[in-house]
Structure 1
Amino acid sequence: MKEIAKQTGVSISSVSLVLNNRDMGRIKPEIAGRIRAAAKEMGYQPNRIASSMRTNKTRILGFISDEIATTPFAGRLILGAQDAARMFGYTLLTVNTNGDKELELKEIETLQQYGVDGFLYARMFNQPTSVPEVLRKDPLVLVDATDELANLPSVVPDEIRIGKDVTERLIQAGCKRIAYIGLNDSIAAQTGRFKGYRDTLAKHHIAYDERLVINPAIGAEAFAATETLMKTHHPDGFFCFNDARAWSVYQSAAWHGLEVGKDISVIGVDNHQVLAETLSPHLTTVELPHYEMGCWGTRKLISLLEDFDVDEVAPPQTNAELPRLDALRAKVECTLIEKESVVGNVGA
């Protein structure tokens, strides 16, 4: 490092920050580039094992999930975490437990043996969760979940805002009888989206009609319930809890000779990479912020580990704005992806 400092005309501490990937927000990019170029030219390779022994830090983060690594959206969540970690010189180790608590404890023990500096704990869907006690002694952030004791930092989608944005868009499209096709469960996503739906109807002085609300199981039950709803109460707009439930609306519309995007408006949630683009016309949908949650959770965790303001370092480009890192229970606003299933939007 002395040789690099001498060749580049900077201090040894500046060289140390750059070579340990801790220069973001501290060293000017052009100076950091000069230091890295000199290190490469001189064949410098950092010894991570020796560094961790000296600093008692491995610059490794543990990412633990239950079922999330087996879902279509897991890749975006992990990618967001990896991109954020890489910006600060951290590496991510990911394990999936499949909901097996005994396996989870073994995986946590293994990660702790590797000396990880902190943990990201992700759950399937936005839900309150009981974090294993063995994790609470380490820096920890929950992703797509909240702590039942309400004292751990966490990040989830803004579910109420989803309900408001979708209902607002349907009203904007001229819908007067907006149906809500929800979930037969009381998870936070269901209660939040339904509240946003009702609040927005009230804001626009549209009377709430419980006959326009169904909460069927997925599959045949959803189609049958949607078919009855459409036949009996004639909604002109449909707010679907997820893109899979929008499929039932498309099926029922075809059965009744109605054209989605012309006769009725339909909006889903998920921006499912298969469903949203396979349905015809393409489905207008809300993109859940998996990348953003992974990114924010990692930045929040690093802010607990480092002694500088991580917020001063710009995050990777995201579709939705990230909350500030001083939030304890952060909520990410979701992006409405306009396609062709809303009246007036065909050909968008």
Structure 2
Amino acid sequence: MVTMKEISAQAGVSVSTVSLVLNNRDKGRIKPRVAAQIRQVARDLGYRPNLMARSLKTSHTHILGFLSKEVATTPYAGPIILGAQDAASQYGYVIMTVSADDPRSSEETEISALERYGVDGFFLAEMSNRKAQVPSSLQNYPTVLVNATDGHPASSTTPNQIHHTGIAPDERLIGYDATMRLIHAGCTRIAYVGCSEPMLAEGLRLEGYKEALREAGLPFDSSLVTAVLNNGPALHSVRELIETQHPDGIFCFNDARAWYVYDTAARLGLTIGKDISVVGVDNHRIFAETLEPQLSTVELPHYEMGYWAACKLISMIEPERELDFSTSPRPLRATLPPLDSEGDVLIHCSLVDKNSVITQ
């Protein structure tokens, strides 16, 4: 095991200086250049802090509780956990994950289980963007919502009620950016294949679609909009839309619904990317690797939301600690909001351009 004494010898500084830096108490005491050098030497030597000893000194266990609502049981949003784990590991924390959707156990039971381990703070993660209700038992803990925003109004005067910070995709900008991509490709008759389920994202993406049309001087035509669920009825609705309305571009609520457009185009002898342009949402691996031509899509930043949420939670637990997004162990494909953001935080998603949009 690498010791602080070994690090001090190689860095040419005292052991006390190394201790200040590696315990994140160097701000205002140690020159930034020296602190950066010490951290680099520690990384090069493979230094790992003794978390048990540190917890005795700081009263922090360096354990974070991850309360999953469907996230842990589906591969779709799994990168949320990966992002949170990467950030936690980077800053000396571990994550304990429990599922809050198991019918055999209540949410409060799972929270109590995590409390028994002395967790320093909680994540509350949703599989799809929604307004979440934070359990009252979490009011006294640092808590960050992931892929969700707090359903409790920030302006409420309810006693002892905290409006928790949450990070979610900017759904309105998803619709706006996807539609603008089609407009910039020269499309003038743009359809929207939405979702018939009552989802927060549906209304906001439709709003962004309308905003882009308005900004481009294109009229909104309700006959170019259809909301579908899945299987045969969805395929029938999409075919009817294309056959009767003849759109030259289609924005789809997600990549799964874009598949119905691809299927219909093949049946009608239309070529995606030539006769009709398509943009989806998700950058879902299955559809991204299966559809031909490859689908242009807006990527949901699951990894980035998990990474930001863990950094935010750690900054709440250790306010004096400096955290740096540039040291992320994996490339960040979306720009992260500042950590000093309060309340609801929205992340601008990246549009991944492939081959399903007409080339001008």
Amino acid at match of 2:210: R
Shift of 1:50: 3.6
Which residue does 2:339 correspond to in 1? 325
Q: For 1:232-311, what aligned pairs fall within 5 Å after superposition?
A: 232-308=244-320, 310=322
Mapped partners of 2:44, 2:213: distance in 1:
59
- Note the residue ranges of structure 1 that are not aligned, 5 or more in a row: none
Mapped partners of 1:30, 1:306: distance in 2:
22
Q: For 1:59-70, what aligned pairs fall within 5 Å after superposition?
A: 59-70=62-73
TM-score by length of 1: 0.90
Amino acid at match of 1:234: H
- Contact 1:15-1:35 within 8 A present in 2 as well: no
- Note the residue ranges of structure 2 that are not aligned, 5 or more in a row: 154-162
Deviating more after overlay: 52-61 vs 95-104? 95-104
1:30 maps to which of 37, 43, 46:
37
Amino acid at match of 1:89: G
- Contact 1:311-1:324 within 8 A present in 2 as well: no
Amino acid at match of 1:271: N
Calculate the aligned-residue CA RMSD, in Å: 2.5
Q: Residue 52 of structure 2: SS of its match in structure 1?
A: helix
Which residue does 2:158 correspond to in 1? none
Amino acid at match of 1:187: M
Shift of 1:48: 2.9
- Contact 1:176-1:237 within 8 A present in 2 as well: yes
- Contact 1:237-1:265 within 8 A present in 2 as well: yes
Does 1:339 pair with 2:336?
A: no
Q: 1:23 to 1:120 in 2, by over 3 A?
A: farther
- Contact 1:143-1:297 within 8 A present in 2 as well: yes
Mapped partners of 2:102, 2:4: distance in 1:
50
Which residue does 2:157 correspond to in 1? none
Amino acid at match of 1:308: E
Shift of 1:121: 0.8
Amino acid at match of 2:339: L
Shift of 1:263: 0.2
Listed one character per residue, the Cα deviations across residues 258-285 of structure 1 (whole Å, up to 9, x for unaligned) are 0111100011100010112201111111
Shift of 1:334: 0.6
Q: Residue 293 of structure 1: SS of its match in structure 2?
A: helix
Shift of 1:70: 2.2
Mapped partners of 2:232, 2:94: distance in 1:
44
Does 1:135 pair with 2:135?
A: no
Q: 1:247 to 1:38 in 2, by over 3 A?
A: closer
Listed one character per residue, the Cα deviations across residues 266-313 of structure 1 (whole Å, up to 9, x for unaligned) are 111000101122011111111100011001111111111113253556
Q: For 1:6-21, what aligned pairs fall within 5 Å after superposition?
A: 7=9, 9-20=12-23
Q: For 1:31-70, what aligned pairs fall within 5 Å after superposition?
A: 31-34=38-41, 47-70=50-73
Shift of 1:59: 1.1
Quick one: percent identity of the two aligned structures?
47
Shift of 1:11: 4.0
Mapped partners of 2:4, 2:250: distance in 1:
66
Shift of 1:28: 2.6
Does 1:88 pair with 2:91?
A: yes
- Contact 1:61-1:93 within 8 A present in 2 as well: yes
Mapped partners of 1:3, 1:197: distance in 2:
60
- Size of the aligned set, in residue pairs, is 341
Mapped partners of 1:289, 1:118: distance in 2:
23
Does 1:149 pair with 2:156?
A: no
Amino acid at match of 2:146: V
Shift of 1:315: 4.6
